[in-house]
Chain A
Amino acid sequence: MRLKRITRGEWIFRIVNTIVLIGFSLIILIPLWTVVMNSFVSQAEIMRRGVFIFIPEEWNLDAYRLLLGKGSNVYRAYLNTFFIVTVGTALNLVFTITLAYGLSKRYLKGRVFFTGMIFFTMLFNGGMVPNYILVKSLGLLDSLWAVIMPGLVSTWNMFIMRNFFYAIPDSLEEAAFLDGANPIQVLVKIILPLSLPSIATIGLFYAVGHWNSWFGAMLYINTNTRLPMQNILRNIVATTSAAALQDVDTALFETMQSPPPSQAMKAATIIVGTVPILVVYPFIQKYFVKGVMVGSIKG
């Protein structure tokens, strides 16, 4: 590419740079690798080979059988997560897009006031207890809506969306306005088709946020069967094995001669909770990177 001689110092730098980056990649990958391998380890193999196994000799699927067996809570948890991700993201998008589009119209009276009012919530909030009292008074406790409603609009995403709309030239809408269309029709028929990539990006931000969230459900949901996947993960991964067993296939567990070791259980749970994201990861990565870059541009 560049026609120039490379100095000795630069050669050394490049080699060191490459080695450090390979080392860095290994630091990212090795923990992930050990989790995957751990999930296949049986109690017998641990007794024979010691606790740390880089590649198991036999691939034991007991942990997965317990997690994905009939009596397991994992399916219901995934259904809950699915509901939160789909319904939540759809509502997020509707509320965010309408608000962002309205606020992107510079001639709208009160725009500065509304924008300021929204921006202020980034600086100051009511705090954990008043929020809890609110959710409780609205009668949302112990339902999935308690997880969806309080985060309906992310101010950050709304401002990113508004910046997308700013970038669309007014001339595209004017013809429609002259034909007597109202802003709602213009938004649906002209603006939305034009901003599909941006909407996909923002939608992904919301969806991954819903997918990963657990604290809201921990606060507001008491019934075990209404908990989303992350909370089941947390129960199994972060608590003692006895408490976690209520979430797996208990009937199968009782018939097992030697149940999988707790580290295999935990590792398998992590895998079950991660695989869906890893499957879509290659496809969504591009949108995410784009979104981050747009977000970093001043609004």
Chain B
Amino acid sequence: MRQQRQPASPSLLPAKRGALYYLRKDRFLYLLILPGLLYYVVFKYLPMFGIVIAFKDYQPFMGLEGIFSSEWVGLHHFKRFFMSQFSWQLIRNTLLISVLKLFWGFPAPIILALMLNEVRQRRFKKVVQTISYLPHFLSTVIVCGMIRTLTSTDGGLINLVLTLLGQEPIFFLGDTRYFRSILVISDIWQSVGWGSIVYLAAMTGIDTELYEAAEVDGASWLQKMWTITLPGIMPVVSIMLIFRVGNLLSGGFEQILLLYSPMVYSVADLISTYVYREGLVNMKYSFTTAIDLFTSLVAMILVLGTNWLAKKAGQEGIW
């Protein structure tokens, strides 16, 4: 064992060796990664083969063999989804809610970071930061529970303020006009402080000489922010944006599942919540797997596309 070990210097090895040679030489390393790789094969790749049921007529009672023995139906389930009255509504809700969250939620932590960055009293800055991280540590269940309490018509804080202002109380969670706004606002409430960390870290990395030079030139705080701070954090902004766009079709699933009700399905039902209800509650396995496959493919194209665009625009991609 000791004679043949030459870590970190592959160039010293003879050029061509068989797979067996390397398997023997690095057998401990392969042993180390084996459990992890097995996990990926079993829990990530096996389900991918399960996707075939999207093209079959699979019923839950058929068990495992049914995946192979069930009848092929081609694109039947895809056609059924796109012909149904739901498909347009689900796609619209999924995109709209994500885009709303992106539009309002993406700039929010950047603005907070810029504001915190201008604070000169360190203690004050630290206190605000610590408070702002707090909601991140509350679980989705708890935050949604708080939203229910705050918006409730008997004793909720928000309705109390409305009554004080002479308005009628509103059942926000059952009202199609307000449901999406609640999702967006609570999303920002929970994530804005935490999201600002990355940008604050990027700001501390900006060369202070730039600011000093700008001051000599008589630049105002606004000019400094606009011409030094913002360009300085642009690479981080672009990476964060790619991740957000990549999650465009999945974000907020748990939040909606905890808050929605049939009253607001028309504005709140996502592709994923629909897949959950129809697939796992109503057991339409093949149909919903087809819908899932469609969404996964679109999400993948979105990530690859944004990454390509970001690189095209001269920013860093995620790979």
A residues at B contact (CB < 8 Å): 1-2, 4, 7, 9-10, 13-14, 17-18, 20-22, 24-25, 27-32, 34-35, 38, 46, 51-52, 94-96, 98-99, 101-103, 105-110, 114, 117-119, 121, 123-134, 137, 149-150, 152-153, 158, 170, 173-174, 177-180, 182-184, 187, 208, 211-212, 214-215, 219, 230-231, 233-234, 237-238, 263, 266-267, 269-270, 273-274, 277-278, 281, 285, 288-289, 292-293, 296, 298
Contacting pair B7 A107 (CB below 8 A): yes
Name which residue of chain B comes closest to A118, CB basis: B40
B234 within 8 A of A: no
Chain B interface size, as a band, is 35 or more
Name which residue of chain B comes closest to A7, CB basis: B220
Contacting pair B47 A125 (CB below 8 A): yes
B157 within 8 A of A: yes
Q: How far is the CA of A51 from the CA of B152 in the complex (A)?
A: 11
Contacting pair B115 A20 (CB below 8 A): yes
B310 within 8 A of A: no
Q: How far is the CA of A281 from the CA of B134 in the complex (A)?
A: 8
* Partner among A106, A129, A184, A270 whose Cβ is within 8 Å of the Cβ of B292: A129
CB proximity to A under 8 Å, residues B111-168 = 112, 115-116, 118-120, 124, 127-128, 130-135, 137-142, 144-146, 148-150, 152, 154-157, 160
Q: B265 contacts which chain A residues (CB < 8 A)? A: none
Q: B155 contacts which chain A residues (CB < 8 A)? A: 38, 46, 51-52, 263
Q: A107 contacts which chain B residues (CB < 8 A)? A: 7-10, 26
Q: A292 contacts which chain B residues (CB < 8 A)? A: 194, 197-198, 201
Contacting pair B44 A125 (CB below 8 A): yes
Contacting pair B198 A124 (CB below 8 A): no
Contacting pair B141 A124 (CB below 8 A): no
Main secondary structure of the interface of A (DSSP, over half): helix
B residues at A contact (CB < 8 Å): 1-2, 5, 7-10, 19, 22, 26, 28-33, 35-37, 39-40, 42-51, 53, 64, 67, 112, 115-116, 118-120, 124, 127-128, 130-135, 137-142, 144-146, 148-150, 152, 154-157, 160, 189, 193-194, 197-198, 201-202, 215, 220-222, 236, 239-240, 254, 257-258, 272, 275-276, 279-280, 285, 288-289, 292-293, 296-297, 299-300, 303-304, 316, 318-319
Main secondary structure of the interface of B (DSSP, over half): helix
Q: How far is the CA of A14 from the CA of B8 in the complex (A)?
A: 54
* Partner among B28, B137, B150, B222 whose Cβ is within 8 Å of the Cβ of A31: B150
Contacting pair A183 B51 (CB below 8 A): no
Q: A46 contacts which chain B residues (CB < 8 A)? A: 155
Q: A22 contacts which chain B residues (CB < 8 A)? A: 128
A174 CB, min distance to chain B CBs, angstroms: 6
